[in-house]
A and B are shown apart, each in its own frame.
Chain A
Amino acid sequence: MPTARELAKRKPVIVSGHRLCAGCGAGMTLRQILLSSPYPVVVACATGCVEVSTSIFPETAWNVPWIHSAFENAAATITGVEAAYKVLKRKGKISKEIKFIAIAGDGGTYDIGLQALSGALERWHDFVFVCYDNGAYMNTGIQRSGATPRGAYTTTTPSGKVIPGKVQPRKDLTAIAVAHNIPYVAQANPAYWRDLTTKAEKAITTEGPAVLVVYSDCNLGHGHEPEEAIELSRLATETCFWPLYEVVYGKYRLTYRPKEKLPIRLWLEKQARFRHLFEPQNEHIIDEIQQEVDKMWEKLLWLCGELETKEQTEDTPA
């Protein structure tokens, strides 16, 4: 694994001057992932924050071949590129080893992009799908997505007099990816750069489809100061809201275990999107969120074989 110093010396894939917000988690995530590739890459981007802020004509922040065609189809688009590569290589028109990466936000993955992603995984193309998950449609102004956590305020799930933010918990996209029985799926977080770059390199060099679901802080949408991005990203993992693990052909492995599992309140209270939950009439929602996090964490530990032997044999995941 390359060191941070070595990574920093590699030719950047996305150059500075792009128009992502200060403190944007997606920018950090993609920089880390793309620097991790030992091979040249071709990138397909879904419509979203990254796409609109890195490719404004006549400028481009991309040092690698890059394509955007629409919102829901980054996976389908990259599979076309990958298929072209396979056949042109077979015909001797290309000799280089090239890797293929599709990038989408949670909207372009959990929601509108799910069908194309599922199809591409099932067809076993050799590519990596990266979802930078900031938990809402941030590009269009913070609307709810299938990734929005329970209780969160978004512009389409406002905290009103009757309904206190988003009612449902988020979809478990990583599990959906795992259900395709593909070679590599991982959940990561740019606050743990070593973990993320290791997973990225694995995903990129693994033959066949791979999915990286990466926590992506959005200070605008989550409601905090830009300089708190990494701190809040870290809290997402330390509270076990966003555990770090990888799944190789269905086999789960925890890649990081917090020394002490912190209460979810510590992460919620620092974000304006959850502020209304701390009003007396909504406090019970925090308890419910805590219970959900506990349940999911327990299930993950079980899947990873991390429980005490007795619990491991007796308990089954909910």
Chain B
Amino acid sequence: MTAEKSEGKFIRGQVKGLIGDDAIAEAMRQINPDVVAAYPITPQTLIVEKFAEFVADGLVDTEMIHVESEHSAMSACIGAAAAGARAMTSTASQGLALMWEMLYVASSLRLPIVMAVTNRALNSNLNIHCDHSDAMGARDSGWIQLYSENAQEAYDNTIQAVKIAESIYLPVMVCLDGFVVSHSLEPVEVLPDEAVKEFIGEFKPLYSLLDVDNPITVGPVDLPPYYMEHKRSQWEAINRAPAIVLEVGMEFYKRFGRAYGFVEAYRLEDAEIILVAMGSAAGTVKAAIDIARSNGSKAGLLKIRMYRPFPWSAIRKLLCNAKAIGVMDRALSFNGEGGPLFTDIKAALYEAEKHPKVINYIYGLGGRDITLRQILNIIEQLEAVGRGEPVEPIQWVGLRTKEGVTFA
């Protein structure tokens, strides 16, 4: 996200002090969805609480369904969206895990549901703090996933998500780091209500269960003769999503002056050492890069905004000239190697002309802090990797070991 404040060119809003959850709730108020079905879970709770206030005060027209579980939240959103309503929800962690079955149904039925996910670790053991394990478990569920570095991005992503979803009939997950973003007070530019309304437009569904004169059968049994073709068409749809995400991002920029693409390239032009990160850690990485640069390092950051579908070629192009790449994963994949982002980045580079060394940095699990010093130490290690020094490919950052805390 880069704000370009050229005078008079863009529609300006009002800067308010908001926590991430409130920023999402504000966006939802302005979107004024027909149906919100949600279940409370830390650290998402404040979204549903704030939105319930808007409902109670008559500031939205929304029918809010206080479901008895996240599984029912997604099921009700599916029913509502199939009935031609604009439907939204939000969840985190175990809630997203409980929804898992219905995530695939939502995307396979091509329902444009928008959901905020305040990223939180998964049980066991119980931990309410941030990591990306929850959303990573849903990464291949057919949802578009957008990650937010801060409250402003969470707000902007939510508004764009509605337009993206309804343009391509696919559900969109807007991820924001639990507590780090969801509960931190930040200045957020809240756009004028009318401008948001105009930007997202009216939802005109192709089909509706409420069109009783033209009955449709939604979610039939689909056996070997047709199932594969239906999956093919869903696959084609999500492959078309990147173009829509760019288009919506461009329109958002033209109106409001904040540019959004698949990724954000931070000081990448001549970068030899590139860190790849998602979510709030990107902010800390940027600060570390500025320090490293002032000390002569040619470091840069590739921040992933759209993680699904994965922007393979854009990432390949931006990374292939580096000397060393550090992929920061705030989630594990028990795949016998590294984190999920690491695996994706390496796969993206397979088709590249050059193959820089890629190191995986597992960090921040269950809300473990990631510090500026740790990132500077990572950059230093990557410099060594760039010089050809051997380094173990999977590194854990901030891990308590017998020798002390790693990268401290």
Contact = CB atoms under 8 A, between A and B. Distances in A.
Interface stretch (B16-24, B68-76, B162-170, B338-346): B68-76
B80 A115 contact: no
Given A66-B215, A66-B218, A88 B84 contact: yes
A55 B211 CA distance: 19
A90 interface: yes
A116 interface: yes
A76 B221 contact: no
A298 to B, nearest CB: 34
A66 B79 contact: no
A75 B65 CA distance: 13
A258 interface: no
A116 B68 contact: yes
B220 interface: yes
B78 interface: yes
Interface string A37-71: 00011101000000110011110101111111110
A91 B221 contact: no
Most buried by B among A80, A83, A87: A80
A258 B290 CA distance: 86
Q: Which of B65, B69, B79, B80 has the most CB of A within 10 A?
A: B79
Contacts of B80: 80-81, 83-84
A98 interface: yes
Contact of A87 (B62, B81, B101, B217): B62
B58 to A, nearest CB: 12
Given A57-B226, A63-B215, A84-B210, A69 B109 contact: yes
B283 to A, nearest CB: 37
A40 B210 CA distance: 10
A67 B209 contact: yes
A167 interface: no
Nearest to B101: A70
B223 interface: yes
B220 A73 contact: no
B67 A70 contact: no
The size bracket of the interface on B is 35 or more
B63 A84 contact: yes
Contacts of A30: none
A69 B71 CA distance: 11
A289 B116 CA distance: 52
A278 to B, nearest CB: 38
A58 B67 contact: no
Contacts of B71: 72-73, 76, 116
Contacts, number: 167
Nearest to A56: B221
A80 B68 contact: no
A96 interface: yes
A88 B208 CA distance: 12
B257 to A, nearest CB: 32
B223 A57 contact: yes
Interface string B90-105: 0000000000011001
Of A41, A52, A118, A123, chain B has the most CB atoms within 10 Å of the CB of A123
A77 interface: yes
Interface in B108-142: 109
B113 to A, nearest CB: 10
A63 B210 CA distance: 13
B65 A80 contact: yes
B63 A78 contact: no
B85 A73 contact: no
Given A83-B37, A85-B83, A69 B69 contact: no
Interface in B170-227: 208-212, 215-223, 226
**For the complex of A and B, 8 pairs with smallest distance between CB atoms:** A80-B79, A119-B68, A80-B76, A84-B85, A76-B72, A84-B83, A55-B220, A76-B75
Given A69-B78, A83-B34, 5 more contacts: A65-B210, A73-B71, A84-B35, A84-B81, A91-B61
Interface of B: 34-35, 37, 61-63, 65-69, 71-72, 75-85, 87, 101-102, 105, 109, 208-212, 215-223, 226
Interface of A: 40-42, 44, 51-52, 55-58, 60, 62-70, 72-73, 75-88, 90-91, 94, 96, 98, 115-116, 118-120, 122-123
20 contacts: A51-B221, A52-B221, A65-B209, A65-B210, A66-B218, A68-B218, A69-B78, A70-B105, A77-B75, A79-B72, A80-B81, A80-B83, A81-B80, A81-B82, A83-B35, A84-B63, A84-B85, A88-B34, A91-B61, A96-B212
